[in-house]
Amino acid sequence: MKRILFGLLAATALSFSAHAQEAKPALLFDLGGKFDKSFNEASFNGAEKFKTETGIEYVEFEISNDAQREQALRRFADDGRNPIVMAGFTWASYLEKVAPDYPDVKFTIIDMVVDKPNISSVVFKEHEGSYLVGVMAGLASQTKKVGFVGGMDIPLIRRFGCGYVGGAKAAGATEVFQNMTGDTPAAWNDPTKGGEITKTQIDQGADVVYAAAGGTGVGVLQAAADAGKLGIGVDSNQNGLQPGKVLTSMLKRVDVAVYNAFMDGKNGTFSGGIHDLGLKEGGVDYAMDDNNKDLVTPEMLAAVEKAKADIIAGTITVHDYMSDDSCPY
């Protein structure tokens, strides 16, 4: 009997050990660096939350060029890493090539759809969150002229800009200046150029400027603050980068996407396909904290909350540039 009991205990221990070994997550960042104060850093925060709650370590990799992407994916897969999460749309073509070679590995890509059975594609309705910060910008603006500085000129970032224009004009803005930082990945990490574009928009009359540009946005917020104007952050809560000078931040819950992907890997609850997260799903929002509370009046807050409720209810439909590459506002 003792022999049977010890055998059962040993089998149980092996089972727990095998389960623990199954959770060997990996996170691959996009260009711009892990601590970009924006998109990459949000993904890092989600991974850190997972590690804190579960005690399970993860591995990470910061690429410095596109040539490293396929190699990094294969290295982690060969090392038995599972799940493997990629932050950024640029991983898509490499993942499409690699994933079929590792059918037992669960991959999650953020910001792009890759149709394979072992891939979970997490995308966001950035236009909905951008509409909300646009409403706040339009109400806060004294000149009724506001600005938008995008990073790399791609449809995804145009989607941010178009949603922002819609919200700003709905709240009384008469003009929205839009400029992109560049057309290569370097546009995500050029705070100097971001600051220069912001100064140009301010010279044209903008007194609120929204940055959707990764690490470049740090320069946008700095330039707005230096000129005594207001900035709007993106992806992560950037209100604290220039306290009292950042009106709000459009939250894109990349942290939640990474955390959920890691937890699904741990719990064996991975589900492939497309996961599209908007206001209704808690995937996007706007940030309020002690850094910006004095900038946002009760009337402004009420207007933004009404817009949020109307979008969730379907009373307001925010134009999606990714579905129709025009911006009707």
Contact (CB, 8 A) for 233 and 256: no
- Residue 42's CB: how many other CB atoms inside 10 A? 24
Per-residue pLDDT at 168: 98
Half-sphere exposure at residue 313, Cβ-oriented, CA atoms within 13 angstroms? 8
Residues shown for the chain: 329
Rg (CA), the chain: 22
Contact (CB, 8 A) for 40 and 87: yes
Query: What is the C-alpha to C-alpha distance for residues 92 and 10, in angstroms, rounded to an integer?
Result: 43
Per-residue pLDDT at 14: 36
CA-angle at 37, arms to 35 and 42, nearest 5°:
85
- Who contacts 183 (Cβ-Cβ below 8 Å, separation ≥6)? 152, 153
The whole-angstrom distance between residue 238's C-alpha and the CA centroid of its chain comes to: 12
Per-residue pLDDT at 22: 67
The residue among 97, 87, 84, 92 whose CA lies nearest residue 63 is 87
Contact (CB, 8 A) for 85 and 262: yes
Residues in the chain, pLDDT under 70: 1-22
Kind plus residue range of the DSSP H or E element containing 203: helix 191-203
Query: What is the C-alpha to C-alpha distance for residues 250 and 132, in angstroms, rounded to an integer?
Result: 8
Per-residue pLDDT at 36: 86
The residue among 186, 201, 193, 210 whose CA lies nearest residue 66 is 186
